[in-house]
Structure 1
């Protein structure tokens, strides 16, 4: 009798255990059914949503009636209509086509509000085509820096049927080519739909663009990956729109090939005479040979400094030193008139460029 009671009790306990297990399984299955959400612990609030593995742009365009458009890599707009861009953040930095700063263009204004900064450009034209970007500035007291993780940019085309090329203030532009980096013929267009070709002036011919050694980017121009002496000469670009068959011609570009090393100034110093007498006139010339577009600043130190009047004249010009050797010759000439005893001694010239500086000295003595 006791054996039957124990057997029935065991079966009863087993049934209860199976029922509890089935209930747990049903709850688990219900949590995975469509339309049901599994609740997890809340994550910290993310300021910017990620799309395709990268942060969404903080740059937006203000449209009519309070609407906003988050800008992508590029956008095409009509000329003449005021451009309003907003960038989220309590402190924002901006970048835009540099000529707007160069000419202090009053059409451009930037206003920082509590939660965003707004850039406004009135009556934009084809010349305003270019990259517009903004970034968050982080400050710790008086020290501020650019937040490289919160930068947004967009290339904006301002279309104009009369200007397929972005206008330039230079009618004949020099492009310097170097063997260690690509060169760009900067004939940018105001619409990405324009068909653009590159042409050599002499002999007259269209340059073949293979997409590798020579390619075209509407935001930059024609890119020569491995420029050489064979690419020297005068060039221009032609563009055709989808609505007109008549081609427009760009400004002309003179391509020069260089083999000038980058670095501190390569300088020399020479006096017209290293021995002079009282009452004589002499001059000292400091000369620098360097890259054609590299500015050079000269600083002089001399015996009669702050006590004797001297004349200092600076000049520069491009010179041709053979095939592929276009260089900039920069000079500073100091002239000392009516020599006095205080003028004898060391004359030092320091030449500076963006890569560094070079100092040289020569001595002028009394003639006995």
Structure 2
């Protein structure tokens, strides 16, 4: 059996000259074919990715051992490469961006580029997606935009940003990212109310960098 045209195309991506014009494969296909999906708490969900070359998933908590997530390759008769990601007993920590990408297009130095789907797992007891302490230390140069990453598990949640004096700070909010804007140096908290219950994040601390940055200049409260 001869090599497929896609095999020659992928090989061409590693060559120079005219081949480089044709080495861009179409993005992998993800099913369900949706931009975002809300999944019921403690339910299971499956994401299927297929492409013309070997594909992999990037997903929340990937660096943590999570027995609720299984990733496996599947064979079919279409000639495509298929990878399936399955989550059982979904919880708030599974809220986030799931990206399917071609293995040969990624390196340690580049960001993952592929086909995305964003999953929400609303939890009435966990309003904000759990985050690591390091995510609460934010550095920015003067006048640069900063993202305060208080993401919600429910896309319908209404979130307020408070400063250290508990005064409301008006800024653009995206439930997939958090608050985005130009903020003064200081502490900020995110707050939301779900079914009459108030939730607040621990403080996010923004450090404004002026001149040459040296981590030793700062003493962290954590």
So what's the TM-score if we normalise by structure 2?
0.72
Task: Tell me how far 1:128 sits from its aligned partner.
Answer: 1.5
Task: Tell me how far 1:178 sits from its aligned partner.
Answer: 1.6
1:114 aligns with 2:75: yes
Task: Tell me how far 1:82 sits from its aligned partner.
Answer: 1.9
Q: Which of these residues, 155, 158, 166, is aligned with residue 121 of structure 2? A: 158
Distance 1:217 1:113 in 2: 35
Aligned to 1:127: 93
Taking a change above 3 Å as real, the CA distance of residues 95 and 258 of structure 1, as seen in their structure-2 partners, is same
Distance 1:260 1:124 in 2: 45
Taking a change above 3 Å as real, the CA distance of residues 91 and 120 of structure 1, as seen in their structure-2 partners, is same
Three-state SS of the structure 2 residue aligned to 1:123 is coil
Aligned to 1:319: 217
Checking the alignment, whether the CA contact within 8 Å between 2:120 and 2:153 is kept in structure 1 is yes
1:256 aligns with 2:188: no
Taking a change above 3 Å as real, the CA distance of residues 186 and 111 of structure 1, as seen in their structure-2 partners, is same
Aligned to 1:59: 30
Task: Tell me how far 1:108 sits from its aligned partner.
Answer: 2.0
Q: Which runs of 5+ in 2 are unaligned?
A: 1-25, 77-81, 107-112
Aligned to 1:104: 65
Task: Tell me how far 1:174 sits from its aligned partner.
Answer: 1.4
Aligned to 1:78: 40
Q: Which has the higher strand share?
A: 1
Taking a change above 3 Å as real, the CA distance of residues 58 and 171 of structure 1, as seen in their structure-2 partners, is closer
Compare relative contact order (CA 8 Å, sep 6+) and give the higher one, 1 or 2. 2
Taking a change above 3 Å as real, the CA distance of residues 259 and 130 of structure 1, as seen in their structure-2 partners, is same
Cα distance per residue 1:57-94 (max 9 Å; x no partner):
7111xxxxxxxxx2321111112112211112362121
Kindly name which structure, 1 or 2, has the bigger radius of gyration based on alpha carbons.
1
Distance 2:89 2:129 in 1: 16
